């Protein structure tokens, strides 16, 4: 399955929580009821706002290939966002739900 397919599959599950799909950084993103993005598909990875210092943030960064999200590719990563590679797509729903539930 492609990263886009896995993204859409997670979106279908999150729709029951009022989550919509829109664009952020020109890429498809999940937005909460307030219209704030909490995760997006970027270069075959799901970048999730997990908030630095939380167990989910640490758990995501421990995955092979995971890293802090750097949408500009200028070595200025966003400390609260983790990019979870498509190889770990089976964990995307878990991290998307954690990002949705976490208040910044």
Domain hosting 25: range is: 3-101
Q: At what angle do helices 92-101 and 3-14 cross, to 10 degrees?
A: 50
CB 23 within 8 A of CB 35: no
Question: How many domains would you assign to the chain?
Answer: 1
Task: Write out the chain's pLDDT in tens, 104 residues.
Answer: 999 999 999 999 999 999 999 998 789 999 999 999 999 999 999 999 999 999 999 999 999 999 999 988 788 888 999 999 999 999 999 999 999 998 76
Compute the distance between CA of residue 13 and CA of residue 51 in angstroms, rounded to an integer.
Answer: 22
- H/E stretch holding 31 reads strand 27-31
The pTM of the full predicted model, rounded to 2 decimals, is: 0.93
| CATH, residue 25 | 3.90.1150
């Amino acid at each position: 399955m492609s990263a886009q397919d896995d993204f859409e599959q997670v979106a279908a599950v999150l729709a029951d929580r009022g989550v919509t799909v829109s664009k952020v950084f020109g890429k498809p993103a999940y937005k909460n009821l307030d219209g704030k993005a909490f995760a997006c598909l970027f270069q075959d990875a799901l970048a999730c706002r997990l908030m630095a210092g939380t167990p989910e943030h640490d758990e995501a960064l421990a995955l092979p290939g995971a890293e802090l999200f750097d949408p500009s590719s200028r070595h200025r990563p966003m400390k609260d966002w983790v990019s979870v590679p498509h190889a770990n797509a089976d964990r995307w729903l878990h991290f998307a739900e954690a990002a949705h539930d976490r208040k910044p």
